[in-house]
Amino acid sequence: MSSRDQLEVFPNPREDREFTIEHVHPEFTSMCPKTGQPDFGEVTLRYTPGAVCVELKSLKLYLNAYRNEGIYYEAVTNQILDDLVAVLQPRRMTVVTRWRPRGGLHSVITAEYAVAS
């Protein structure tokens, strides 16, 4: 279960201008629910803020909270997007997860959100 409550925000300093914020966390780790072994990956968050921006340290703690949680690639990518959209209500947001090889294959999952126009 995710820890959406850990995410803290601060007011967008230029809410009148559309601009883009990207945070890359190359130290993401969770557990494979099938094998019980750890997975390692890099999480990229890119968004156009609405009224608030995510505070960097709270984002790190939120992502670190997956450390001992069993969850699949596809599920964790969508979960991170859902949590951040709920808390930040951004204009647009993309989450990309890039995973280290398992059984010789490496994977990249990309999920996007945009306010309906």
Residues forming contacts to its own copies in the complex (CB under 8 A) are: 12-14, 17-27, 29, 37-38, 40, 53, 56-57, 59-60, 64, 67-68, 72-75, 77-78, 100-112
d(CA 110, CA 95): 6
Task: Pick between residue 5 and residue 56 the one whose CB is nearest to its own copies.
Answer: 56
> Which residue's CB is nearer to its own copies, number 5 or number 59?
59
* Nearer of residues 1 and 22 to its own copies, judged by Cβ: 22
Interatomic CA distance for residues 74 and 78, integer angstroms? 7
Task: Give the integer Cα–Cα distance in Å for 26 and 20.
Answer: 20
CB of 27 to its own copies, least distance (A): 5
Smallest gap from residue 79 Cβ to its own copies (A): 9
Torsions phi, psi of 80, nearest 5?
Answer: -60, -45
Tokens in use for 81? 């997007």
Q: How far is CA 4 from the centre of its chain?
A: 11
Catalytic site residue 39? yes
Active site residues: 32, 39
